[in-house]
Structure 1
Amino acid sequence: MREFTLDDLKRILRASGGESDVTSLEGDIADIAFGDLGYDSLAVLELAGRVEDEYAVVVPDAAVQELPTPAAVVDFVNARLREAVSR
């Protein structure tokens, strides 16, 4: 099983919208809210779309509202990847 990491999330954020003007993606950003990192809900939706494309993990629009931090996204994606393997 391929694991989704915080580095994967950072790579996707950089590819989809670059680093925000508010803060960089360096360091431990796992528990910092996307809004505090300078990413709005549209950027997080773009992230979800790219995760779906690269990892075949569906991230419903409604779920995006419940994924306020990078750590939450990493946990969500890895849980779905584990579910896919156990089927």
Structure 2
Amino acid sequence: MATFTITEFQGIVNACFDGTTAEEIKDSTLHTEFTDLGFDSLTVYEIVTRIQDDYAVTVPDEQLDELTTPAALIQYVQGQLTAV
């Protein structure tokens, strides 16, 4: 069974920023809103698209609106992976 943790999430974020500086996601920023981390909606959408491609999970658009922090998104994806 695949897992999706802060480490995997940070890898996806780094890939989305293609080597440029991205906000490092740490335990202290897990519950910070994406907008407060400097991620606009397009960046969050790109992150979610990569997660869906790499982990074969689905994050419906209406669900994405509720996943406003890295912790919420990580928990949702891990829940989807566990359900499979």
Normalised-by-shorter TM-score class: 0.7 to 0.9
1:13-71 CA distance string (max 9 Å, x none): 11112444xxx315322111111110011111111110111100011122111101000
TM-score (norm. length: structure 2): 0.87
Aligned-residue sequence identity (percent) comes to: 38
Q: How many residues align?
A: 81
8 Å CA contact retained: 1:12, 1:50? yes
Structure 1: any 5+ residue segments left out of the alignment? none
Structure 1's 26 and 49: CA in aligned 2 closer, same or farther, altered over 3 A? closer
Cα RMSD (Å) of the superposition? 1.4
8 Å CA contact retained: 1:13, 1:19? no
Partner of 1:25: 24
TM-score (norm. length: structure 1): 0.84
Partner Cα distance (1:19, 1:79) in 2 = 29
8 Å CA contact retained: 2:6, 2:26? no
Structure 1's 33 and 83: CA in aligned 2 closer, same or farther, altered over 3 A? same
Runs of 4+ with deviation above 4 angstroms = none
